[in-house]
C-alpha cells in the first residue's frame, strides 16, 4: 500500500475535507508530518484560510494543494477527487471531515434544517467515500478512508435530533463500505469526537445556548461538557489527528468498519 505514489519520499497522497480550520486543519498538518502529500478542501469562502494551511504544509517539505468544493454536491466531489489524483499522483487516504453543527428541539427542527445537516454531515461523507473508493479501486494499491462521526453518533442527545441522526448514519455507512472494500485492501473507519476546542464547538455551544434560552432555560454548556468527561478536559484537534494518523497508517490494516470514540471518556463501547 502507498508504494506507487508519485513522490518516492512520500507515504502517499491524502485528502482532508473541511480542513481550513479546526479538526480538519489539525488532521492535515499531522498527516503532512507523517510524510503524506496533502490536498486540502473547504468551501470557497474559506479559500484564504486553506492557502495558509497549504503554506504550512509546504514549509514542512511536503506537497500540498487546495481544492474548494461543496461536499454535498456530487459533481464537485468527483471533480475534487479527480483534481487531487491528477495534481498529486493518486489518492491513498481520504478523510471526510467536513461537517456542520446545528441544534434545535425536535418540534423546532424544520425540514430545511434537517436536509441541510444531512446534506453536509451524511451525504457529504457518502460522496467522499464513494468517489475516493472509485479512485482507490482504479489504482489497485489499497487505501484508507476515514469519516467524521461524533459522540452524538454513539448516544443521542436532546436538541440534537438531526445532528445525531446524521452522525449515527455515518456509522452505518462506514460499516457497509468496510464490508464492500476490505478485500481490495481499503479500510473504512470513522472517528467520534467529543467536545473539541475550535470553531465547530464554539458554533455548537452558541446555537445550543440559543435553543436552551428560547425554551426559558439557562446553563453553562461548556462547563456541562467538561463535567461529562472522565478526564475533566476538552479535546484538541491534535487528539483527533493522532487517531486519524494511526488509522491512515500501514499498521492499521486489520482495523476496519469501526467508529472510534475520542471523547475523554464520555461514551464507553
Chain segment 106-137, per-residue pLDDT in tens? 999 999 999 999 999 999 999 999 999 999 99
Rounded CA separation 88/102 (Å) = 35
What is the helix (H) or strand (E) element at residue 244, kind and residue range? Answer: helix 237-247
Sheet with 64-68: list strands edge to edge. 64-68, 36-42, 12-16, 93-96, 143-148, 186-193, 259-262
- Would residue 157 count as lying in a domain? yes
Quick one: how far is CA 51 from the chain centroid?
A: 19
Q: What is the dihedral of CA 212, 217, 220, 224, to 10 degrees?
A: -80
Q: Give the start-end residues of each E strand in 98-213.
A: 143-148, 186-193
In a domain, 212, yes or no: no
- Asked whether residue 106 is domain-assigned, the answer is yes
Confirm whether 135 is domain-assigned. Answer: yes
Residues of the chain with pLDDT under 50: 3-6
* Model pLDDT, residue 8: 54
Is 73 in a helix, a strand, or coil? Answer: coil
- Determine the pLDDT at residue 5: 45
Q: For Cα atoms 173, 264, 238, give the angle at the middle one, nearest 5 degrees.
A: 75
- Nearest C-alpha neighbor of 248 from the set 70, 105, 94, 59: 94
Number of C-alpha atoms within 13 angstroms, CB side, residue 25?
Answer: 18
- Supply the residues annotated as catalytic: 163, 167
As beta bridge partners, residue 67 has 41
pLDDT given for residue 196 in this prediction = 94
Residue 57 lies in a domain: yes
Q: What is the CATH number of the domain that holds 166?
A: 3.40.50.720
Q: Which domain holds residue 170?
A: 12-196+235-261
Cell numbers standing for residue 207:
446555537
Q: Is residue 35 part of a domain?
A: yes
List the alpha helices (DSSP H) in 66-105.
74-88
Identify the pLDDT of residue 92: 98
Instruction: Give pLDDT, residue 1.
Output: 55
Q: Taking a C-beta distance cutoff of 8 angstroms, is the pair 54, 66 a contact?
A: yes
Q: Do the beta carbons of residue 105 and residue 211 sit within 8 Å?
A: yes
Rg, Å, the chain Cα set: 18
Length of the chain: 269
Task: Please indicate, yes or no, if residue 5 is contained in any of the structural domains.
Answer: no
Q: Please indicate, yes or no, if residue 21 is contained in any of the structural domains.
A: yes
Into how many domains does the chain fold? Answer: 1
Amino acid at each position: 500500500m502507498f508504494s506507487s505514489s508519485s513522490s518516492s519520499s512520500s507515504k502517499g497522497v491524502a485528502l482532508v475535507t473541511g480542513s481550513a480550520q479546526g479538526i480538519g486543519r489539525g488532521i492535515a498538518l499531522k498527516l503532512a508530518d507523517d510524510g503524506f502529500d496533502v490536498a486540502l478542501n473547504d468551501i470557497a469562502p474559506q479559500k484564504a484560510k486553506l492557502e495558509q494551511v497549504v503554506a504550512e504544509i509546504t514549509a514542512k517539505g511536503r506537497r500540498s494543494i487546495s481544492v474548494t468544493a461543496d461536499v454535498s454536491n456530487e459533481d464537485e466531489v468527483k471533480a475534487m477527487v479527480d483534481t487531487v489524483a491528477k495534481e498529486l499522483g493518486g489518492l491513498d487516504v481520504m478523510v471526510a471531515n467536513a461537517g456542520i453543527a446545528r441544534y434545535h428541539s425536535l418540534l423546532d427542527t424544520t425540514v430545511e434544517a434537517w436536509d441541510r445537516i444531512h446534506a453536509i454531515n451524511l451525504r457529504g461523507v457518502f460522496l467522499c467515500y464513494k468517489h475516493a473508493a472509485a479512485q482507490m479501486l482504479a489504482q489497485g494499491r489499497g487505501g484508507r478512508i476515514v469519516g467524521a462521526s461524533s459522540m452524538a453518533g454513539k448516544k443521542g442527545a436532546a436538541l440534537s435530533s438531526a445532528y445525531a441522526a446524521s452522525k449515527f448514519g455515518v456509522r452505518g455507512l462506514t460499516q457497509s463500505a468496510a464490508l464492500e472494500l476490505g478485500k481490495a485492501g481499503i479500510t473504512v473507519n470513522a472517528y467520534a469526537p467529543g467536545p473539541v476546542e475550535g470553531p465547530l464547538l464554539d458554533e455548537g455551544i452558541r446555537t445550543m445556548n440559543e435553543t436552551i434560552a428560547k425554551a426559558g432555560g439557562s446553563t453553562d454548556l461548556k462547563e456541562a461538557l467538561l463535567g461529562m468527561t472522565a478526564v475533566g478536559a476538552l479535546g484538541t484537534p491534535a487528539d483527533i489527528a493522532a487517531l486519524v494518523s494511526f488509522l491512515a497508517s500501514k499498521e492499521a490494516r486489520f482495523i476496519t468498519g469501526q467508529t472510534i470514540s475520542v471523547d475523554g471518556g464520555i461514551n464507553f463501547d
